[in-house]
Amino acid sequence: MTLLTSRPGRVAALLAAVALVASGCAKGEETAAAPSGSSTQGGQVVRTPAADAGAGCTLDAFGAQRFDLRSAVVGFSQSEKEANPFRIAETKSIKDEAAKLGIANLKVTNAQSQFSKQISDVQQLIAQGARLLVIAPLNSDGWEPVLQQAAAKKVPIITIDRKINAAPCKDYLTFIGSDFVEQGRRAADQMAKALGDKGKVAILLGAPGNNVTTERTSGFKDRIKEVAPDIEITFEQTGEFAREKGQQVTEQLIQSNPDIDGIYAENDEMALGAVTALKGAGKKAGDVQIVSIDGTRGAVQAIADGWLVAVVESNPRFGALAFETAQKFLDGAAIPEKVIISDREYDKANAESSLSEAY
Ligand code: GZL
């Protein structure tokens, strides 16, 4: 296969993407052969834990007692309201896997995007006797009250999706999620390719206060400097990961920066809001090159319709991997402090054919 690219660095990125697709794991298939250096666990392609993932945390080291997941109270704390397909798919994945495993006492809460409610939700789950907590954190800081209460009762916490700033194997068991810096870098490669390595780009930032926004932003900016220094980032504003806000911010953008060439949206909801704003301003598909992250069905369809150029997946289907990790822990295995999953990528070449894999 001849890889047409102007940058050696991008050859590596393209080869990685080809390897993912070729191995089948990009299709999220349970039986996909994982790329070398990774494994398939719980239906997810898991990268072999990075060297810095630590020796691993065991039940004894954590100080918890073994218990049967099927009869225990298990708490799942969801962060954002389920208007975002990412959240809908994430919660469904947890519920479906619990049902499949016969976990009879799963209690699910939703903080409706309010951090104070997420703290009280988790405190309530602890009071209700949760023996395991799976948390999709809204914010990365401010968890101390919960961590102290969970530690006092030796309740292991598995954080999925976003990280919390706390100590692994002490405050929480492990983090399971994507490599968000890599997602930003892959989005930058797609943007550079779409713009021919030059032009003016706006960033629709995610919500403040969490590692996902920070890492997707740094990954994108650093990669743009590496591969396309003639691309200028002339606008940055948070759209709070929400479609309406993404639309409002893009309406402002079109007024203040009418010559914008590209938009990097840090999630699909904001990207689709931007599309609505562009349509409202009389723009045509392709007038502005939009690259996004998540992999929702609406965004992949927008690639097929020409409004988006590419979407880097952020896979929310943590259910199987989260409960598999919990069971391994209860069986005495050492659990690494982070379990990083691989994400696929959608572009014009595979959008139509992969629509059913989007969520
Ligand atoms: C990513 C997750 C982000 C999604 C957004 O793991 O935290 O939050 O990309 C969601 O869609 O709002």
Mutate to test the pocket of ligand 1, among 88, 294, 311, 317 (most ligand atoms within 8 A of CB): 294
What integer best gives the mean pLDDT of the chain? Answer: 90
Residue 6 lies in a domain: no
Judged by DSSP in three states, 295 sits in coil
CA–CA gap between residue 271 and residue 277 (Å, rounded): 10
Strand partners, 168: 172
Q: How confident is the model at residue 55 (pLDDT cuts 50, 70, 90)?
A: confident
Task: Pick the more confident residue, 135 or 22.
Answer: 135
Give the CATH number, domain containing residue 64: 3.40.50.2300
Q: How far is the CA of 78 from the centre of ligand 1 (A)?
A: 12
Shared domain check, 205 and 74: no
Judged by DSSP in three states, 225 sits in helix
pLDDT at 51 over 90: no
pLDDT over 70 percentage in the chain? 86
Residue 64 lies in a domain: yes
Tokens of 58: 């065991």
pLDDT at 215 over 80: yes
pLDDT at 119 over 50: yes
Q: What is the pLDDT of residue 144?
A: 97
Candidates 242, 250, 233, 235; CA nearest to 188 is: 233
Candidates 1, 358, 335; CA nearest to 172 is: 335
Strand partners, 73: 105, 130
pLDDT at 20 over 80: no
Mutate to test the pocket of ligand 1, among 110, 161, 178 (most ligand atoms within 8 A of CB): 161
Q: What is the pLDDT of residue 39?
A: 74
Q: What is the pLDDT of residue 2?
A: 34
Shared domain check, 171 and 186: no
Domain span including residue 280: 180-314+350-355
Write the residue with the smallest CA distance to atom 6 of ligand 1. 161
Judged by DSSP in three states, 339 sits in strand
Residue 1 lies in a domain: no
CA–CA gap between residue 333 and residue 79 (Å, rounded): 29
pLDDT single digits (tens) 146-159: 999 999 999 999 99
Query: Read out DSSP for 99-154?
Result: HHHT-TEEEEEE-TT-HHHHHHHHHHHHHTTEEEEEE--S-SS--HHHHHHHHHTT
Q: Which residues of 168-205 are buried (b: 16+ CB within 10 A; e: fewer)?
A: bbebbbbbbbbbbbbbbbbbbbbbbbbbebebebbbbb
Q: How far is the CA of 60 from the centre of ligand 1 (A)?
A: 33
Question: Across residues 302-316, what is the average pLDDT?
Answer: 98
Q: How far is the CA of 65 from the centre of ligand 1 (A)?
A: 33
Shared domain check, 310 and 220: yes
Label residue 321 exposed, middle or buried (CB < 10 Å: 0-12, 13-18, 19+): buried
Shared domain check, 20 and 159: yes
Q: What is the pLDDT of residue 252?
A: 98
pLDDT at 10 over 60: no
Which residues 6+ apart lie within 8 Å of 134 measured at CB? 74, 75, 76, 77, 94, 157, 158, 160, 318, 322, 326
SS (H, E, C) 30-97: CCCCCCCCEEEECCEEEECCCHHHCCCECHHHHCCCCCCCCCCEEEEEECCCCCCHHHHHHHHHHHHH
Pocket of ligand 1 (CB under 6 A): 80, 84, 86, 161-162, 177-178, 212, 241, 267, 269, 293-294, 314
Question: Across residues 328-337, what is the average pLDDT?
Answer: 96
pLDDT at 31 over 90: no
Residue 199 lies in a domain: yes
Ligand 1 atom closest to Cα of 268?
11
pLDDT at 42 over 90: no
Task: Pick the more confident residue, 213 or 54.
Answer: 213
Determine the residue type at 347. D
Q: How far is the CA of 174 from the centre of ligand 1 (A)?
A: 18
CA–CA gap between residue 289 and residue 194 (Å, rounded): 7
Write the residue with the smallest CA distance to atom 8 of ligand 1. 241
Shared domain check, 28 and 153: yes
Q: What is the pLDDT of residue 233?
A: 98
| 50 torsion bin: left (phi>0), alpha (psi -120 to 50), beta (else) | beta
Q: How far is the CA of 90 from the centre of ligand 1 (A)?
A: 10
Q: How confident is the model at residue 251 (pLDDT cuts 50, 70, 90)?
A: very high
Which residues 6+ apart lie within 8 Å of 240 measured at CB? 206, 207
Q: What is the pLDDT of residue 37?
A: 59
pLDDT at 171 over 60: yes
Shared domain check, 223 and 84: no
pLDDT over 90 percentage in the chain? 84
Shared domain check, 48 and 156: yes
Q: What is the pLDDT of residue 102?
A: 98
Mutate to test the pocket of ligand 1, among 84, 183, 212 (most ligand atoms within 8 A of CB): 212
Shared domain check, 74 and 34: yes
pLDDT at 202 over 90: yes
pLDDT at 325 over 70: yes
Tokens of 215: 């890492």
Q: What is the pLDDT of residue 122?
A: 98
Residue 337 lies in a domain: yes
Residue 246 lies in a domain: yes
Strand partners, 200: 232
Shared domain check, 36 and 155: yes
Q: How confident is the model at residue 46 (pLDDT cuts 50, 70, 90)?
A: confident
Number of domains in the chain: 2
Q: How far lies 327's CA from each of 70, 156, 309, in Å?
A: 10, 12, 40
pLDDT at 16 over 50: no
Shared domain check, 252 and 141: no
Shared domain check, 322 and 242: no
pLDDT at 50 over 80: no
Q: How far lies 178's CA from each of 160, 175, 211, 212, in Å?
A: 9, 10, 11, 9
pLDDT at 4 over 50: no
Residue 90 lies in a domain: yes
Q: How far is the CA of 259 from the centre of ligand 1 (A)?
A: 29
Q: How far is the CA of 246 from the centre of ligand 1 (A)?
A: 14
Shared domain check, 328 and 258: no
Residue 116 lies in a domain: yes
Write the residue with the smallest CA distance to atom 12 of ligand 1. 241
- Residues 8, 44, 114, 83, Cα dihedral to 10°: 90
Which residues 6+ apart lie within 8 Å of 85 measured at CB? 268, 269, 294, 296, 297, 298, 359
Which residues 6+ apart lie within 8 Å of 70 measured at CB? 101, 102, 103, 104
